[in-house]
Amino acid sequence: MASVDPFAAAGFTGHPPSLIAAWNETDLAVGMASLSDAEIERLGRMQSERRRADMAGSFVVRRRLIADLTATRPGEVSITALSEGAPVLARPPGWSVTIANKDALTLVALDRAPAEIGADVEVMRRVNWKPMLAMTCSDREHAAFIEAFEGQPDAGEAFFRMWTLKEAALKSTQRGFRAGPKAVETNVDILAAPGEGRLFAFGARFQFWTALVGEAVVSLVRKQP
């Protein structure tokens, strides 16, 4: 899959530069030698061969996407991580970075540091989303989602849009899920279809963008000053 800006393709503007792509065997053949010791160690701990291949592909593709976004070469890209796992773009300097991957897909977005941004991608699939609402939503959100989407054919897409928006906002804190998904407020009117707008989280307002890439829901948020 060639890289594409999913939000620009959906007709949105004003978002941090973003690209999404799926890895292929050529990516692995060319890029495996560039993996860091930490990435190789992480791959070695993974038990599933499929998940290990997807993660290796993501490690390679994310360097290519960052290189494309910054007009550098993949070999010049260096990614480290904070103690809680959030990625840090060491080279080229001066950028805030967020990275998400699911199956073969990798999504990368950049903004000039010290911007607070986050992104997430989920491939739509059949899930029992009701128990997950209780873990991730406030009582108000939970009730509103059930009222709006229970029994509706687009309930799954709405759930994954909610999930990716929450994950993206959580990633913007560089703490991930530990920051608390119930602190990210979403309204049902932003969940029914791809779109752009604003949401409230952690006592601040965030601008958001959501789009579809095939069967995947992608979301991106940026904290407003």
As a whole number of angstroms, the distance between CA 199 and CA 190 comes to 9
Supply the pLDDT for residue 83.
Answer: 79
pLDDT one-digit tens code per residue, 11-69:
999 999 999 999 998 888 888 888 889 899 999 999 999 999 999 999 999 999 999 99
pLDDT for residue 1 is more than 80 = no
pTM: predicted TM-score of the whole model, two decimal places? 0.95
Residue 75 contacts by C-beta under 8 Å, 6 or more apart in sequence?
A: 34
Percent of the chain with pLDDT strictly greater than 90 = 88
CA distances from 176 to 6, 34, 173 (A): 22, 26, 7
Provide the H-helix boundaries in 89-196. 129-136, 139-149, 155-172
- Report the mean per-residue pLDDT for the chain: 94
For residue 72, give every residue at least 6 positions away whose Cβ sits within 8 Å of its Cβ, in sequence order, or none.
Answer: 66, 92
Q: What does the pLDDT look like over 151-202, one tens digit per residue?
A: 999 999 999 999 999 999 999 999 878 889 999 999 999 999 999 999 999 9
Q: What is the mean pLDDT of residues 110-135?
A: 96
Cβ–Cβ under 8 Å, residues 69 and 17: yes
pLDDT average, residue stretch 67-89: 93
pLDDT at 32: 85
Q: What is the pLDDT of residue 77?
A: 95
